Amino acid sequence: MIKHSPTHFFINGPTIFNGKFNENIEVPIPDSNCITRVKIKFDYTLKGYLKNFLFKADAQGIVFNFHNTPEKKFFRLIPRNSISGIWINPLVTEINLYTLDIENILKTNYNVKSFMIITEDKKMLKGFQYQWEYLCAKDIKGK
């Protein structure tokens, strides 16, 4: 299991996968009323470890591909934060803090088909591992 910080309600998928840069990763569709996150752990080269020790790690990129549109969305990805989990589905790009309602967020369509991790400097990174996490309404109602 990829660990970094406690995930109080999220349930980890059983498998850790090896990912490759610039290749699409298909997103599994869980039961309805679930949030899908992915935890990503980057594997650094010796040069990458040294740079991270002396300086801050460079941001990577994540590109989301959608089911119903050819549109793609790019976001910066901070490697140290990605191990705690990246919210994938439903992808929420705007939140109104005055009307925040988790039940309405869970009713959003699961529109992310796949994502891709991109990097500009492959000399710093060997690859990455990822693991799916799920938070379903049925799992938190009793907690």
pLDDT digits (tens, 9 = 90+) for 117-135: 998 877 889 999 999 998 8
Query: Residue 42 falls within a domain, yes or no?
Result: yes
Query: Residue 5 falls within a domain, yes or no?
Result: no
Angle at 135 between CA 130 and CA 78, to 5 degrees: 40
Query: Residue 13 falls within a domain, yes or no?
Result: no
Query: Residue 47 falls within a domain, yes or no?
Result: yes
Domain that holds residue 126: 19-140
Distance of CA 101 to the CA centre of its chain: 21
64 has a pLDDT exceeding 80: yes
Query: Residue 130 falls within a domain, yes or no?
Result: yes
Query: Residue 88 falls within a domain, yes or no?
Result: yes
Query: Residue 118 falls within a domain, yes or no?
Result: yes
Q: How many structural domains compose the chain?
A: 1
29 pLDDT band, cuts 50/70/90, is: confident
